[in-house]
Structure 1
Amino acid sequence: MKKFILLLLFPLSIFAQINKAEIDLLFKNKQYQKAENILKFYVKNNPKNLEAIELLGDAYGYQEQWDNAINTYKTLVNVKPNIANYQYKYGGAMGMKALENKFKAISFVGDIKSAFIKAAELDKNHINARWALVELYVQLPGIIGGSITKALKYAQELEKLSKVDGYLAKGYIYEYDDEPELAEKFYKQAIKQGGSLVCFDKLTKFYEKTNKPEQAIKNIESAHQKHQRNALHYQIGKVAAEYNVELQKGEKCLKVYIKNYSAEDGVPKAWANYRLAQIYYHKQNKTEALKHIDLALKELPKIQVFKNKKQKILNL
Structure 2
Amino acid sequence: MPCPKNLDRQMFDQKFSLDLARRDVMETRHPVDSIFSRANRQAVLSQRHRFFQSARASRLGSSGGRKSRSADRGKGATILGSLRVQTFSGASCARIVRMLAPRLFAVAAVLLAFVAQPIVAQDVSALFTQAQELMRRQQFAAAVPLLEKCVAAQPASSKFHQWLGRALGLQAAQNGITSSLMSIRKVKAELEKAIALDPKNLQARNDLAILYRALPGLFGGSNAKAAEQVAIIRKDDPALASQIDGDFLAGDKKYDAALAAYNESLRLNGANPMTHVRISLVHQQKKDWEKAFAALDRGLAIDANHPLLLYQVGRAAALSGLQLGRGEKCLRTYIAMPVREDLENPPIAAAHFRLGNILEKKSDPAGARAEYETSLQIDPKQKQAREALAKLKR
TM-score normalized by structure 1?
0.60
Q: Is 1:199 equivalent to 2:275 in the alignment?
A: yes
1:274 alignment partner in structure 2: 360
Q: Is 1:61 equivalent to 2:144 in the alignment?
A: no
**1:73–1:103 distance in 2 versus 1, CA, 3 Å:** farther
SS of the residue corresponding to residue 38 of structure 1 reads coil
1:224 alignment partner in structure 2: 297
> How far does residue 123 in structure 1 lie from its aligned partner after superposition?
1.3
1:159 alignment partner in structure 2: 234
Larger relative contact order, structure 1 or 2 (CA cutoff 8 Å, min sep 6): 2
Q: Is 1:264 equivalent to 2:264 in the alignment?
A: no
> How far does residue 272 in structure 1 lie from its aligned partner after superposition?
3.1
Number of positions where the alignment pairs a residue of Structure 1 with one of Structure 2: 250
5+ long unaligned stretches in structure 1: 1-29, 242-249, 277-291, 312-316
1:72 alignment partner in structure 2: 149
2:193 and 2:235 mapped to 1: Cα distance? Answer: 19
2:150 and 2:298 mapped to 1: Cα distance? Answer: 44
2:198 alignment partner in structure 1: 123
Taking only the aligned residue pairs, the percentage that are identical comes to: 13
> How far does residue 106 in structure 1 lie from its aligned partner after superposition?
0.8
**1:97–1:224 distance in 2 versus 1, CA, 3 Å:** closer
After superposition, the C-alpha distances for 1:122-163 in whole angstroms (9 at most, x for unaligned) are: 312212311221221111111211112222222233334334
Q: Is 1:186 equivalent to 2:255 in the alignment?
A: no
Query: Which amino acid in structure 2 is aligned with residue 174 of structure 1?
Result: L
Contact 2:242 2:261 in 1 (8 A): yes
Query: Which amino acid in structure 2 is aligned with residue 202 of structure 1?
Result: R
2:326 and 2:144 mapped to 1: Cα distance? Answer: 46
Contact 1:84 1:122 in 2 (8 A): yes
1:116 and 1:73 mapped to 2: Cα distance? Answer: 15
1:21-32 map, 5 Å = none
1:97-108 map, 5 Å = 97-101=171-175, 102-108=177-183
2:292 and 2:174 mapped to 1: Cα distance? Answer: 34
More helix by share: 1
**1:213–1:159 distance in 2 versus 1, CA, 3 Å:** same
Q: Is 1:33 equivalent to 2:16 in the alignment?
A: no
5+ long unaligned stretches in structure 2: 1-27, 45-85, 88-112, 135-139, 336-350, 374-384
> How far does residue 35 in structure 1 lie from its aligned partner after superposition?
4.6
**1:205–1:225 distance in 2 versus 1, CA, 3 Å:** closer
SS of the residue corresponding to residue 200 of structure 2 reads coil
Give the counterpart of 2:391 among 305, 308, 313.
308
After superposition, the C-alpha distances for 1:199-238 in whole angstroms (9 at most, x for unaligned) are: 22222223334xx102x43132243266367957655533
Give the counterpart of 2:184 among 95, 109, 116.
109
Q: Is 1:176 equivalent to 2:176 in the alignment?
A: no
1:256 and 1:105 mapped to 2: Cα distance? Answer: 42
Contact 2:369 2:389 in 1 (8 A): no
